Amino acid sequence: MDSFLLGIDLGTSSLKAVVADADGALRAVESREYPIHQLQPGWAEQDVGDWERAMFAAVRGVLERSGVVPGQIAAIGLSGQMHGTVCIDGWDEALRPAIIWADRRSAAEVEEIEKRLGRGFLARETGNPLATGFMLPTWLWLREHEPETARRTAHLLLPKDYLRLRLTGEVGSEPSDASATGLFNPTQGDWSQPLMDALEIQSALLPPIFPSGSAAGRLVEHAARETGLLPGTPVVFGGGDQACQALGNGIIQPGNLSCTIGTGGQLLAPTVTPMPDPELRLHLYNHVEPGLFFSMGAILSAGLSLRWLRDNVLAGLDYQELADLAATAPPGCEGLIFLPHLAGERTPHMDPNARGAFVGLTLRHTRAHLARAVMEGVVFALRQALDLMLDLGIPAERLVASGGGTAHPLWLQLQADIFDRPVYRTRTVEAAAVGAAMLAGIGADVFADAADAVRRVVRWHDEIIPPQPANVARYQQIYNIFTELYLALHPRKTKAA
């Protein structure tokens, strides 16, 4: 009887489940949505019960849709939104809703940590900038503002690790997700004891760390009933969503670079040695393959910027129609530039108070110009991460588009022109969930390692999108202006900040 792999990806707006065979061919995809709760301005929470119900329903649905019987599932892997915090008590029950990556309530805690410890300490211990929504400042906020929650908390879990707890009854985590908490030393591959000592954080709060592709436990009876799977089905630790999408797109070799345009945007480059940014403008995380790292730049409002435009300015158009409209405007939008800082910004500014802007509006500009300027602004913002990587000597030659950035020819051409690199694409659908399924295959000995999984699973589009020289020259001129606009609009900021 053929065996199959189940991948589960806990996203920000929905959970997706995929069933794939050992060669990566998808038999079915199923998704379930859930809301973000914003009880106060800048807050972002999710009900972990919504996640759990979505997981159970999506797995039942994908099994039914695929026609695969439960006994054919060799293993389960998980991918998930990064940075967030779930507080569980001594009975493994969640004490409150999860505080997710988009939450900005801990700005004062971020400032206090940097003031007390210094950016040099953070660079040495974690290789990462701190941002609101990360587990470390979130926990300090909870300790200050919800002391009863803090007192009762037995473990702090990342989102996908909470779901795996519900599947297996076992507490644990793995390096790719843990390295995005602000509490982890990616070079040593474990929690930073000096940092925890400095901030009086008990090490017992943090789960033990295991390899991403290793077995975490087996499906418990309750989870088996809810999913329709067999009790005892192996469950693998999995990875953070960016590491999993990189695996699903074959991004495990230095020189390859993935550009993901989803709600946020990420530029990711694998390295065989840790290459931290001493100025903490880029992130340094562990990859899902042991001994591999990746440098990452992140912006907060990529597709979110286009969604804002659709919902508030160009109502009635879907994303395809927006991009079609944008394609009718000329490159450079006749002087109109958009800063996509609608929810603050990370790379390179690390500024939760950054604000978006249209600059250069004239009577000549139309709806098409607005739409194209938003799309160009998103890619300009991601280009800043590429420049930082190149300055650090990180190899970044082969650009692979991922996420919504593959959904329209204009997105692809903008990446080719603004990055001045040919754009490649894989045929992978739902790359993060497929990456989770690949990790399940590693844990179940279907694949020897990540390289074997990529060889067997990842398929490439024949078409390569080349940069257009005239557009490259035009966009370089505009990009030079774009990089100055943040400081011009935030005069109290300095280039060092």
Residues involved in catalysis: 241
Does an H or E element contain 242, and which? Answer: helix 241-248
Angle between helices 241-248 and 450-457 (to 10 degrees): 50
CA-based nearest residue to 113, from 192, 187, 176: 192
- Could you write out the DSSP letters of every residue in 149-160? HHHH--EEE-HH
User: Burial level of 151, CB count in 10 A (0-12/13-18/19+)?
Assistant: exposed
Q: Tell me the three state secondary structure of residue 78.
A: strand
Sign of CA dihedral 381, 383, 384, 389: positive
Dmax over CA atoms of the chain, in Å, equals 67
Tell me the CA distances in angstroms from 482 to 324, 340, 343, one per residue in order.
24, 11, 18
DSSP string spanning 96-124? SPEE-TT--TTHHHHHHHHHHH-HHHHHH
* Residue 185, strand partner residues: 190
Query: Residue 445 gets which letter from DSSP?
Result: T
Q: For residue 482, give both structure tokens.
A: 């774009």
Q: Which of 380, 86, 437, 494 is nearest to 248 (CA)?
A: 437
Query: Can you point out the beta strands (E) in 206-307?
Result: 215-218, 234-236, 239-240, 255-261, 265-271, 283-286, 293-299
- Contacts by 107-110 with C-beta closer than 8 Å and gap 24+? 107/132, 107/352, 107/353, 108/141, 109/137, 109/138, 109/140, 109/141, 109/144, 110/137, 110/352
Contact 342, 378 (CB under 8 A): no
Closest CA to 495 of 308, 279, 305: 279
* Burial of 383 (C-beta count, 10 Å sphere; 0-12/13-18/19+): buried
DSSP code per residue over 297-325: EEES-SHHHHHHHHHHTSTT--HHHHHHH
The residue assigned the tokens 């470390």 is 136
Please count the residues of the chain: 497
